[in-house]
Amino acid sequence: MAPHAGAYTRAELTDLVACAEARGIVIVPEIDLPGHTTAALAAYPELGNTDVSGPHGVSCVWGVHDTFLNLDPATLGFCEDVLAETLAIFPSPWIHIGGDECPTTEWERSAAARARCRAFGIDGVERTQAFVTTRLTDWLRARGRRAVVWDEAADDDLARDVIVMAWRHRRFGLGAAARGHDVVMTPCDATYFDWYQSDAAGEPPAQPGVTTLATAYGYAPRPAEAPREVRERIIGAQGALWGEYLPTTERLDDMAFPHLSALAERAWREQPTTYADFTHRARVQLERLAVLGIRGRTLPGA
């Protein structure tokens, strides 16, 4: 596996925000908490559950890790400091704080974490993530920003002004909308464009799973059979293109287009046309993109 590394400077991020704004795009940053924090633990070992694990090195693999931040007040303050830096750079009214893929195994093993739970009045270690999420969403609300979380964090006690992004399955998005949350639908089986585009031999390496163009176009973010009040809470959709298998811009273009065009049409058009009509128009769109230097996936028969 080739090493991956790098970081943005504050000046580079500020330029990126300005570039996006000039094109009518709002960048919504995600600071995933309290999981997906191995880089922070490697840089600041004191943030970890040091009575049961550590010190931590920089991770050489991606995926779900079972090492997390501890619950010390100083660590929670560190999270708020990181978010404060984020707010200073990104003017977005929405700030994503993650909340996905966070097993409680390490907190359960840590006597210090269990003691912190008792001190904070947390009713069991399994409620730890909800406690952290509530603290951070309250912190953002007090500063005029609206929190966004993944569907794992959308329990019954989550404040209703928090936006939920449903990635594990569409039913989690429909459930959150029924409870009163605004929802962005991004179910992995239809909108994860880092999956294989087909099951044909010779496909470049990708995440396990297949999202064909027909699957992307066939997905309705606001299903007609859902109650009207649920449909009205579904405020958008997202195509996810995680970068683990995207070493070049050319690979990114190949995975993103025309899949992204399919999702955009279904998200913005209440009455879709046929898939055959879409692919006919998509060929023209791919030609336009090629003029801009974007090389999407060639459609069969093109």
* Residue-range definition of the domain harbouring residue 207: 10-31+72-250
Is 152 part of a structural domain of the chain?
A: yes
Total count of domains within the chain = 1
pLDDT band at 54 (very low <50, low <70, confident <90, very high): confident
| Mean pLDDT score, 85-101 | 97
| Mean pLDDT score, 126-154 | 96
Is 187 part of a structural domain of the chain?
A: yes
pLDDT of 283 over the 60 cut: yes
CATH for 217: 3.20.20.80
- Which phi and psi (to 5°) does residue 221 adopt? -60, -35
Is 123 part of a structural domain of the chain?
A: yes
Is 182 part of a structural domain of the chain?
A: yes
**217-230, pLDDT tens digit by residue?**
999 999 999 999 99
Contacts 24+ apart (CB under 8 A), 217-225: 217/262, 217/263, 217/265, 217/266, 217/272, 217/275, 217/278, 218/190, 218/275, 219/187, 219/190, 219/191, 219/263, 219/266, 220/266, 220/272, 221/185, 221/266, 221/267, 222/270, 223/170, 223/174
pLDDT at 1: 57
Is 131 part of a structural domain of the chain?
A: yes
pLDDT at 84: 98
pLDDT of 101 over the 90 cut: yes
pLDDT at 147: 98
pLDDT of 96 over the 70 cut: yes
| Mean pLDDT score, 176-192 | 98
Mean of the per-residue pLDDT values for the chain?
94
Is 154 part of a structural domain of the chain?
A: yes
The first and second tokens of residue 162, run together, are 């928090």
pLDDT of 180 over the 60 cut: yes
| Mean pLDDT score, 59-79 | 91
pLDDT of 270 over the 80 cut: no
pLDDT at 302: 54
Q: What is the pTM of this model?
A: 0.95
pLDDT at 112: 95
pLDDT band at 197 (very low <50, low <70, confident <90, very high): very high
Is 299 part of a structural domain of the chain?
A: no
Is 245 part of a structural domain of the chain?
A: yes
pLDDT band at 301 (very low <50, low <70, confident <90, very high): low
Beta strand 183-185 pairing with 234-237: parallel
